[in-house]
Structure 1
Amino acid sequence: MRCQNDMVCKNNTGCQDDILFSWGRNNWGQLGIGSFGGSSNTPIKVMSGVTGLFNPMAITAGGFHSLAIDPNYKVWTWGRNDNGQLGDGTFTSSNIPVRVSKVTGLSNVIAITAGRLHSLAIDCNGQAWGWGGTFFGELGDGTSGPGQDMNTPVQVSESTGLSNVIAIAAGGFHSLAIDCSGQPWAWGRNWFGQLGNGTSGPGVISSTPVQVSGLSNVIAISAGSAHSLAIDCSGQPWAWGRNNNGQLGNNTTTDSNTPVQVSGLTDVVAISAGGGRNSVDDPFGHSLAIDSAGQAWAWGLNNWGQLGDGSNSDSDIPVQVSGLTDVIAISAGGGHSLAIDSNGRVWAWGLNSSGQLGDGNFTNSDTPIQISGGT
């Protein structure tokens, strides 16, 4: 999940010293540039080398914080921290990268993901970890409610059968995982059915992992504000959870607490679920996908042009993103979208109120524009 800040490494062959860039909103220091407040509408260097973060191998941006993995498989974080989502043992926000605490045993991290107020990781043994906000049980360790936030990593519970985790995704207030058999799991808030286990309703949560119903052989997952996406081994995309904007892509706007097929889209190789919220009870969202031909697709909320089809009309079925070809990576934010093509060019479209499109202005765009300096 992404919101109003973005990151990219500028090198076609791999990341090198001091070339981690960010742009967008910086009210919590989430750009990692050594200051709080304001925003940047062009890419700016993260102060990574100053703190010891070199050659990041993976990066992710959450609601108001950012994460990276270094070549020694250690995790670095920066930005908002009032829920402990930086995992450094404090509740103090940081405008430069800080190390996630290793006191609890987290090491050899191979994957990371950032949600609105929490963070997740997988270590080389397939153990999932979480830290930060857990009011709705989004850390998966069996805790929930006020005063339970964790500022150091805790292990996601294996008591219900989750082990050998190969992929994770953090959403608004819920989390997803895939185990080595291809079974998807979910935990956290379930008001709109975003856990996909056949239950939903106001106040419904799960603080430990539950199996997503009716899905197997899953190869990719993504968690939005209140909806979830998956791809199975045949390339079929699936969706469940909140659907008020058509973000499930099944030609309806009805929520679903079990997975439904995304309409008319096959041979999908990548997905991303985005969104934000007007209030805790009123989340919104959109979804993105790439097919095997490198075509980008989008569906859901489109009030800021985040579907990239040249309009501002919502769509409950996938529509082609205009003017993009040979897309190799894609990401959905709070109200904007990002893509990378096979030439290493970075593209953005949608909401730009905080400069999150990185094109040097603050004007929304309903079609993709190339990010300044994003090659």
Structure 2
Amino acid sequence: MVRTKELSDFQRGTVIGCHLSNKSVRQISALLELPRSTVSAVIVKWKRLGATTAQPRSGRPHKLTELDRRVLKHVARTNRPSSVATLTTEFQTASGSKVSTRTVRRELREMGFHGRAAAHKPKITKSGLQAVTVADDIKEKVKLDLPKVKGQLLIFGATNWDLIGRKEVPKAQAAFRNLGQNLWGPHRYGSMSDVQVSSVVSGPCAAHSLLITTEGKLWSWGRNEKGQLGHGDTKRLEAPKLIEALADEVVVAAACGRNHTLALTEGGTAYSFGENKLGQLGQGNQTDAVLSPALIQYNGQPLVKVACGAEFSMVVDCKGNLFSFGCPEYGQLGHNSDGKFIARAQRIEFDCETIARRVAIFIEKSKDSQVTPVPNVVVRDVACGGNHTLILDSQKRVFSWGFGGYGRLGHTEQKDEMVPRLVKLFDFPGRGASQIYTGYQCSFAVNEMGGLFFWGVTNTSRESTMYPKAVQDLCGWKVRSLACGKSSIVIAADDSTISWGPSPTFGELMWHIKKLINYTTAPCAGDSKRPLQNVQSIVTQRHATDSSSFEGACNWHADCRNVYQSCCQIIEC
């Protein structure tokens, strides 16, 4: 009989591949001619540890890597006198490594931490603290730069924030039923005429918007039913307002979910605020709402990227590790589970991740559903749709996972993916991706040659694109930025702005302006005197009106009172 320890790494990977292909233990045993107990042991160990390689001590490393030792030092030094069990839990959260308390106890002893047996005495003594190096040797320091774009804000499209994405305005917002109109051309806020903007942010399922000034100050406006604007209340805002709680921070990036927001500072720390029913704020709990910005619970390396889906969030650290938290529905967190469990009769709930958890497994799947782990994935960029995610790694490969409906994952099938899966089109020399973008139900990528590829759907009454296809109408254009709402798409390419989308639209395409864009039913472009930078899209929930925002340079008319959702926003250089 073949025992578990006698299997090669290839055999273990084959067992896991068959398991991910929904084959039973009995089928795998017959196919590979292995005992059922051996197959079960491999699967159980893989689920617990996320690894298929044979490791000592039931899969737990008896020695830590140098990086893990530094993380353990940091955890031991910064925490109050704690038990080894507590330190083990905090270390596993910070590093993502699975170890036993015996391993942690031995490593602490070797590093000079001397505990005491009595429960009422500190587990770590002063001599132990003095034996540890300073924290600066443990965590890297970064200083992130603001986008170099400099301009003013423009907006056009639908601006009735409480109606966007809904059939009716909620009773609590009935007073605002008729507030906000469709802006059929670019407008600017008179109060923002002197504010220099470097970035505009929203999301494909958001009804609120953010802007970051050239000084790193964060402003917000739009729907605010869950405190997603970060002003300590739930009052709707018609015009951008500075978030006072972050006035002392230099914000370099931000992201908008359906009802929550993430903000990233130049030092690599992340703040979150808004709805938190599903743990999408990453603050270690599930509450109705957090009205003011608060730090997420995270003790790892400085963060460099943030992204938000509808009810989940993604962050990337400076080492290229990806972390996720929030609702695990459809496997959108990338932890090989959709988190469903039966809470009581006829009621299904989700086991949500309330703190940042590292995404450790990346796979490649062949046509016959054979699964192969993909090593050495260093994440460089991340983009989230409503219920799916794309990442771009250091080797210019693209991975996607989450809800697979309408082909938005690009794998020629509509199955949900529980872990990041390689999109094969971009895994060839000279055909890697350089940029990635997501809409609510679709995805985009720009390859090394500058070609734009699309997959998914923007109009559910038409056929879906099940795998990446080149957008032929834009061949020869150099795409600088792209934004997609639920159905409308706006692109900044060369010195022009290009937009298209199915009916109905609400002014977000700017097609009535003949000087900017000629009225056609296909993607069309219009030359402007100044190039528009960093197009972004503001789109609301399902069946929503669409909105797009641009970072390039645009201003609002002084007589424009209402601002603006299901709209486009631009920064004019």
Relative to the length of structure 1, the TM-score reads: 0.82
Q: Distance in 1 between matches of 2:449 and 2:291?
A: 43
1:297 matched to which residue of 2?
453
2:77 matched to which residue of 1?
none
1:60 matched to which residue of 2?
201
Would the aligned equivalents of 1:347 and 1:370 in 2 still touch at CA under 8 Å? yes
- Deviation of 1:14 after TM superposition, in Å, equals 4.2
Q: Secondary structure at the match of 1:259?
A: strand
Residue 102 of structure 1 aligns with an amino acid whose one-letter code is: A
1:270 matched to which residue of 2?
435
Q: Secondary structure at the match of 1:96?
A: strand
Are residues 256 and 366 of structure 1, via their aligned partners in 2, closer, same or farther at CA, if it must alter by over 3 Å? farther
2:150 matched to which residue of 1?
15
2:305 matched to which residue of 1?
167
Relative to the length of structure 2, the TM-score reads: 0.55
1:190 matched to which residue of 2?
328
Are residue 226 (structure 1) and residue 377 (structure 2) matched? no
Greater share of helix: 2
Bigger relative CO (Cα 8 Å, ≥ 6 apart): 2
2:270 matched to which residue of 1?
128
- Deviation of 1:199 after TM superposition, in Å, equals 1.4
Are residue 42 (structure 1) and residue 185 (structure 2) matched? yes
Aligned residue among 272, 297, 303 for 1:157? 297
**Structure 1 stretches (4+) deviating beyond 6 angstroms?**
none
Would the aligned equivalents of 1:29 and 1:78 in 2 still touch at CA under 8 Å? no
Would the aligned equivalents of 1:348 and 1:371 in 2 still touch at CA under 8 Å? no
- Deviation of 1:47 after TM superposition, in Å, equals 4.3
1:139 matched to which residue of 2?
281
Aligned residue among 363, 368, 375 for 2:523? 368
Are residues 41 and 205 of structure 1, via their aligned partners in 2, closer, same or farther at CA, if it must alter by over 3 Å? farther
Are residue 76 (structure 1) and residue 219 (structure 2) matched? yes
Would the aligned equivalents of 1:23 and 1:356 in 2 still touch at CA under 8 Å? yes
- Deviation of 1:330 after TM superposition, in Å, equals 1.7
Q: Distance in 2 between matches of 1:43 and 1:154?
A: 34
Are residues 304 and 340 of structure 1, via their aligned partners in 2, closer, same or farther at CA, if it must alter by over 3 Å? farther
1:335 matched to which residue of 2?
487
Unaligned runs of 5+ in 2: 1-147, 165-177, 341-349, 363-376, 514-518, 532-573
Out of 129-138 and 334-343, give the one that drifted further: 334-343
Would the aligned equivalents of 1:289 and 1:330 in 2 still touch at CA under 8 Å? no
Q: Which has the larger radius of gyration?
A: 2
- Deviation of 1:181 after TM superposition, in Å, equals 0.4
Q: Distance in 2 between matches of 1:371 and 1:354?
A: 19
Aligned residue among 236, 240, 243 for 1:93? 236
Provide, for residues 140-182 of structure 1, a one-character-per-residue CA deviation record: whole Å limited to 9, x for no partner.
111224x3x1121011111xx5430000011111111110000
Provide, for residues 57-100 of structure 1, a one-character-per-residue CA deviation record: whole Å limited to 9, x for no partner.
11112311110111221100011111111101111010111111
Are residues 131 and 137 of structure 1, via their aligned partners in 2, closer, same or farther at CA, if it must alter by over 3 Å? same
Out of 173-182 and 328-337, give the one that drifted further: 328-337
- Deviation of 1:213 after TM superposition, in Å, equals 2.8
Aligned residue among 498, 505, 509 for 1:357? 509
1:204 matched to which residue of 2?
351
Q: Distance in 1 between matches of 2:509 and 2:161?
A: 19
Q: Secondary structure at the match of 1:102?
A: helix
What's the Cα RMSD here? Answer: 2.6
Unaligned runs of 5+ in 1: 1-12, 276-284, 306-311
Residue 271 of structure 2 aligns with an amino acid whose one-letter code is: W
1:323 matched to which residue of 2?
473
Q: Secondary structure at the match of 1:340?
A: strand
Percent identical pairs in the alignment equals 25
Would the aligned equivalents of 2:150 and 2:214 in 1 still touch at CA under 8 Å? no
2:538 matched to which residue of 1?
none
Provide, for residues 236-262 of structure 1, a one-character-per-residue CA deviation record: whole Å limited to 9, x for no partner.
111010001111101111001101112
1:308 matched to which residue of 2?
none
Are residues 135 and 36 of structure 1, via their aligned partners in 2, closer, same or farther at CA, if it must alter by over 3 Å? same
Q: Distance in 2 between matches of 1:319 and 1:46?
A: 39
- Deviation of 1:226 after TM superposition, in Å, equals 0.3
Provide, for residues 206-239 of structure 1, a one-character-per-residue CA deviation record: whole Å limited to 9, x for no partner.
1111112325311100011000010011111110
Q: Distance in 2 between matches of 1:85 and 1:65?
A: 8
